[in-house]
Amino acid sequence: MSYRGLMSASSPTDPAAIVDAAILSRRSIRRFLPTPVPRETVTTLLDVAARAPSGTNMQPWRAYGLAGVARERLCAAVLAAFDADEPGHTQEVPYYPEAFFEPYLSRRRTVGWALYGTLGIARGEAARMKAQHRRNFLFFDAPVGLIFTIHRDLATGSWLDYGMFLQNVMTAARGRGLDTCPQAAWSRYHRIIRAELDLSPEEVVVCGMALGHADPDAPENALQTHREPAEAFTRMLGFDD
Ligand SMILES: Cc1cc2nc3c(=O)[nH]c(=O)nc-3n(C[C@H](O)[C@H](O)[C@H](O)COP(=O)(O)O)c2cc1C
């Protein structure tokens, strides 16, 4: 059975199987069904996620859960800027290097082309690529959008803690049959988000996240991404002495 199947199977009991299935069945979902996600579920996910460790228990995360009109308002405001090709929307804290280099460049290209491939978008079809990117700002149709912020004076360690928290959100979502897509795309539009959500001046937008039920028939949701095996990125020492 696939890991995604395992998550919906009735009560697996092996703890390793349960934990592994929650982790391994996660993938970035880019088309959601309109099925709502109740507020209590979102709160529970965030409560579970906040059990993430953080250096000296600083808990650097701050989240905004958006549904209904609040979600629509933020989407409309950012889409207006995106559609107008407004200049000057750049991230406050860069997520990517200024220039990509190997092996990261190849990995990035591979996943990009694989995603476009699922949608039948060929190289050179810039308008269709842009339309796909635009869907970020609809939270890929997910009924719940999350925006995550961090205090701008915190250091790199707190961003590390933040990643653990975000992974917990996504894993806890899988445990409830829900899917996610983490979205750095939102952070470019921090000025609009700041105005819409009334962020305080010290908050920096880390990323957004779509949360909901995956559309099982959407071709882009079938994208399977590759990982290098542990042997390729690990040096084991002292095991065979
Ligand atoms: C912090 C973060 C930001 C991301 N931002 C976006 C985004 O803006 N739009 C998008 O479609 N995917 C985004 N992704 C998803 C990655 O492309 C995806 O995680 C990667 O290709 C591996 O695929 P998988 O998540 O299905 O395993 C982001 C992932 C992370 C961890």
What is the DSSP track for 165-232?
HHHHHHHHHHHTT-EEEEEGGGGGGHHHHHHHHT--TTEEEEEEEEEE-B-TT-GGGG-------HHH
Condensed to tens digits (0 to 9), the pLDDT of residues 87-96 reads 999 999 999 9
Q: Verify whether ligand 1 is closer than 6 Å to residue 129 (CB atom).
A: no
Q: What spacing in Å lies between the alpha carbon of 173 and ligand 1's midpoint?
A: 16
What pTM was computed for the model? Answer: 0.96
CA-nearest residue for atom 27, ligand 1, is: 27
Q: Give the number of other Cβ atoms within 10 Å of residue 234's Cβ.
A: 9
Q: What spacing in Å lies between the alpha carbon of 223 and ligand 1's midpoint?
A: 12
The CATH topology of domain 29-93+136-225 is: NADH Oxidase (3.40.109)
Q: What spacing in Å lies between the alpha carbon of 241 and ligand 1's midpoint?
A: 40
C-beta contacts of 127-130 below 8 A and 24+ residues apart: none
- Contact (Cβ atoms closer than 8 angstroms) between residue 95 and residue 196: no
Q: Which atom of ligand 1 is nearest to the CA of 186?
A: 8
Q: Measure CA 118 to chain center.
A: 19
Q: Verify whether ligand 1 is closer than 6 Å to residue 207 (CB atom).
A: yes
Q: Give the number of other Cβ atoms within 10 Å of residue 219's Cβ.
A: 14
Domain residue extents for the chain = 29-93+136-225
Condensed to tens digits (0 to 9), the pLDDT of residues 140-198 reads 999 999 999 999 999 999 999 999 999 999 999 999 999 999 999 999 999 999 999 99
Q: Measure CA 78 to chain center.
A: 18
The pLDDT mean for the chain works out to: 95
